[in-house]
Structure 1
Amino acid sequence: MIPDLASLAPVPAGFAALEEATAHLEAPYAVVDLGAFAANVRSLVTRAAGKPVRVASKSVRSRALTTAVLATEGFAGILALTLPEALWLAEEHDDVVVGYPTADRAALRRLAADPRLLERVTLMVDDVAQLDLVETSVAGAHAPIRVCLDLDASLRLLDGRVHLGVRRSPVHSVDQAVALARAVAARPRFRLVGVMAYEGQVAGLGDNTGSRAHRLQIRALQAASVAELARRRAAVVAAVREVADLEFVNGGGTGSIETTVAEDAVTEVAAGSGLYAPTLFDGYQRFQPLPAAYFVTSVVRRPVAGIATVSGGGWVASGAPAADRLPSPVWPEGLRLTRLEAAGEAQTPLAGPGADALAVGDRVWLRHAKAGELCERVNELHLVHDGQLVGSVPTYRGEGHAFL
């Protein structure tokens, strides 16, 4: 059982305490420092400035930890990765929005056949073709299917020739949003209840790494994007509210909370990565989350002086292939990946001044580049607080699920 997060001292355990508390475990294993985790929970609530935080479950991927976060004041609702995941989570939680469109016909049929799930789960749409797919997949529904309109939050310059942001929804303008809202409203099988826009170019792009010129460039582009999106999102929400009675307007992510909640049109913010604080979230000037999730592996070889080789370690994050997607050795200090092999499936050689102090059987602690993806590699997360192993909770994988 996870202790009440609000009552935990928000103090990181430190590597010596983490290592001592888990020394009896066999590597590889994953650890969550509950003191750091609790501090990050409080930080997200503070940064949201009174607006509810919807938990991005793909960045947690542990049902027990998601439930513990939702029990903390300031959090409300889940933003799920897939419809099957949403249906599973909705067995316990009454407000689950699927963050991406779905083409899972079996899951759609299950949703449509269950009145309780229809009340709890909201689909994401950005195209009439998705509405068509849903309608052809389900024979009937006990109630209208709840849907949320996904607005493209990217910054487009020079008549669209420059695109800053992720490639998501085709709905960018007010007119496009209203047209889709009317298409939803015209179909009795659906009910439009929300609008979402994820500004990945702010929420997922650190502004405090690289050269000074690079940092200034990123900050200038993000400032321009924040200003443009605030105007456009307000106009879209106002226009769509003329078509449907919206229950929520969701925006942002861990890296953009302050600017997202500053918009009057936004009623809630989504966040998840800020709970574990992986390495991709080290480079922001607005906030500094505490690393809370680690994985541990063992030294199995000492091939030459200056190199210690650990078992496995190649837990590489999704996204554009680059060095920032690799895991980072963080304890003992003075270790680094090698340029030739990096992080490997079977083994990972580590160099640096700390390598010669390691012996076969010693442990090395690493941080993943992204948050929830760590959980796809392990069946459980071991929880440490105040230097003690206080419990273990299953990941999705540990409960027999691999949603995506």
Structure 2
Amino acid sequence: MDDRLRYDHATAALEPPFAILDLAAMRANAADLVRRAAGKPIRVATKSVRSRAVLERVLAMDGFRGLMAFTLPEALWLAGHGFTDILVAYPTADRQALAALAGDAHAARRITVTVDSAAHLDFIESAVAATHPRAEIRVCVDLDAGYVAFGGKFRAGALRSPIREPDQAADLAAAIAKRPGLRLTGLMAYEAQIAGVGDAPPANAAYTRVLRLVQERSARELIVRRGRIVNAVRQIADLEFVNGGGTGCIERTVREKAVTEVAAGSGLFHPRLFDFYRSFTGHPAALFALPVVRRPNPDTATVLGGGYLASGPAGPSRLPQPYLPAGLRYAPEEGAGEVQTPLLGQAAQDLRIGDRVWFRHAKAGEMCERFDTLHLIDGDAVVESAPTYRGEGRTFL
């Protein structure tokens, strides 16, 4: 039975729109991530999953340890549900959440917050000043892992931390050490220009050659600089972890002795943007189904909804992919619409009112902000209906 028939059969009792997670595909993706990590633990990026039940399934697999959350309120909620070793990977300016963390010794032992400046330290201390008794707050320093060349005129990578050199990291580590109630426990550096940019894009050959050259030079530069930073900071603090990488570059990052763990999340669901890497081939695991509701002409099938665009620079790469049946494409003048999406192509001619079209989101966890449930499919049956964060009434971002 092909995937389209299998998914249609498994969800015959459900009315679209809805979302599914193919457990066999996710297990295969997880096993490949673990293989690529070569023995180093993988911290699961929650933004790419956004379902407690699915996070529990992943952490029960060998090779996965700890969570990388995206907000402090999310981390507090997860800690309250029994999750441990939670790194909040982005700085917080949430005073109430910081006060709650400082006032909860149970959560404070399980959560690490991220900083990249003395201003963050000042903000944390101000937010928790009135909290008594106050638990020690675990802190991680975020590093700039971007690639800079030509005297700073060229840069590749996300604009994250201002901490780039060993002396800057050591100075911030020393500042943390001088502040009672704060303890530096880790470092992280996300090489977005490698991990999040596929090196086999559907673009012209010249662009691909330049992209691969930049990624190779960036990886060589970072392995030296990250190692020096870690050595400098270890002179000041007893680090528990050094986190790096992402789904797109696990096998590169784990080769660095300074890195103790890698992060991954998107690779579990394998959304559309992760089709364009040479080093691995994943299995599409997370899909959503939309019903055909119109046939405006013999060559067009229109589905309900569909405008579930991904974050990032606007463009075709951020659109969901009409996946099954194969061969569908958007009407160029409409694209993915708010309430309806016309689809063209040979396959559209055979679709009838009430048929389903299966889509892949461009990114992983963002799909879960559109649906309150992930229907988990094993084989040709739904074995569990797991709430997403949204399904539990939680919309952290």
Distance apart, 1:19 and its partner CA = 1.2
Aligned-pair CA distance for 1:211: 2.4
How far residue 214 of structure 1 moved from its aligned partner, in angstroms, is 2.1
1:160 and 2:152 equivalent? Answer: yes
Cα deviation for residue 23 of structure 1 reads 1.6
Structure 1's unaligned 5+ residue stretches are 1-11
Equivalent position of 1:192 in the other structure: 184
User: 2:357 corresponds to which letter in structure 1?
Assistant: V
2:86 maps to which residue?
Answer: 96
Cα shift at 1:217: 1.5
Counterpart of 1:151 in structure 2 is: 143
TM-score (norm 1): 0.96
**Structure 2 residue 259 is the aligned partner of structure 1 residue 259:** no
Q: Structure 2 residue aligned with 1:249, among 207, 229, 242?
A: 242
Q: Distance in 1 between matches of 2:282 and 2:114?
A: 29
Q: Distance in 1 between matches of 2:292 and 2:3?
A: 21
- Answering whether residue 338 of structure 2 is matched by residue 348 of structure 1, we say no
Give 1:124's aligned residue: 114
Partner of 1:3: none
Q: What amino acid is the match of 1:126?
A: D
Match of 1:142 in 2: 134
Shift of 1:239: 0.2
**Once structures 1 and 2 are overlaid, which stretch shifts more, 160-169 or 136-145?**
136-145
CA offset at residue 305 of structure 1?
2.2
Q: Does 1:64 align with 2:53?
A: yes
Output the CA distance in 1 between the equivalents of 2:25 and 2:204. 29
Amino acid at match of 1:184: I
The 8 Å contact of residues 299 and 308 in structure 1, kept in 2 or not, is answered as yes
Give, in angstroms, the shift of residue 176 of structure 1. Answer: 1.0
**Inter-partner Cα distance in structure 2 for 1:13 and 1:230:** 44
Q: Trace 1:18-29 onto structure 2 (pairs within 5 A).
A: 18-29=7-18
Distance 1:175 1:157 in 2: 20
SS of structure 1 residue aligned to 2:384: strand
Following TM superposition, by how much is the alpha carbon of 1:340 offset from its aligned partner in structure 2, in angstroms? 0.9
**1:330 — aligned with what?**
323
Counterpart contact for 2:244–2:262, Cα < 8 Å = yes
Question: 5 Å matches for 1:287-306?
Answer: 287-306=280-299
Alpha carbons 1:13, 1:36 under 8 Å: kept = no
Structure 1 residue 388 displacement after superposition: 1.3
- Residue of 90, 95, 109 corresponding to 2:99: 109
Given that residues 52 and 269 in structure 1 are in contact (C-alpha distance below 8 angstroms), is that contact kept between their aligned partners in structure 2? yes
Deviations 1:239-266 (A, max 9, x none): 0000100000000100010110000000
May I ask how many residue pairs the two structures share in their alignment?
393
TM-score normalised to structure 2 length: 0.98
CA contact (8 A) 1:253 1:271 kept: yes
Structure 2 counterparts to residues 158-307 of structure 1, below 5 A: 158-209=150-201, 210-307=203-300
Question: How far apart in 2 are the matches of 1:382 and 1:211?
Answer: 38
- What secondary structure, in the 3-state scheme, does the structure 1 residue paired with 2:296 have? coil
Contact 1:13–1:386 at 8 Å: present in 2 too?
no
Which residue among 6, 9, 18 is the counterpart of 1:17? 6
Distance in structure 2 (CA, Å) of the matches to 1:304 and 1:234: 61
CA positional deviation for 1:339: 1.1
Which residue does the alignment assign to 1:401?
Answer: 394
Structure-2 separation of matches of 1:88 and 1:46: 31
Q: Are the counterparts in 1 of residues 104 and 135 from structure 2 also a CA contact under 8 Å?
A: no
Percent identical: 55
Q: Is the 8 A contact 1:248 1:268 kept in 2?
A: yes
Structure 1 residue matching 2:167: 3-state secondary structure: helix
Instruction: Report deviation, 1:13.
Output: 7.0
Native 8 Å contact 2:36 2:251 kept in 1: yes
Aligned pair 1:367/2:356, yes or no? no
Q: Tell me the residue number matched to 1:84.
A: 73
Which 4+ runs in 1 deviate beyond 4 A?
A: none
**Mapped partners of 1:217, 1:110: distance in 2:** 47
User: Whole-Å Cα distance in 2 between the matches of residues 13 and 245 of structure 1?
Assistant: 52
Q: For 2:152, what is the secondary structure of its paired residue?
A: coil
Partners of 1:100 and 1:124 within 8 A in 2: yes
Match of 1:9 in 2: none
| Residue aligned with 1:378, SS | coil
8 A Cα contact 2:243 2:259, kept in partner: yes
Paired residue type of 1:325: R
Give, in angstroms, the shift of residue 359 of structure 1: 1.1
Measure how far apart 1:41 and its partner are.
0.9
How far apart in 2 are the matches of 1:219 and 1:168? 22
Q: CA deviation at 1:324?
A: 0.3
- The superposition leaves residues 170-218 of structure 1 with CA deviations (integer Å, 9 ceiling, x where unpaired) of 1111111111111111101210000000000000000011222222211
Deviations 1:53-91 (A, max 9, x none): 000000000001001101111100000000000111112
CA contact (8 A) 1:59 1:272 kept: yes
Q: Deviations over 1:263-282 (max 9, x none)?
A: 00000000000000000000
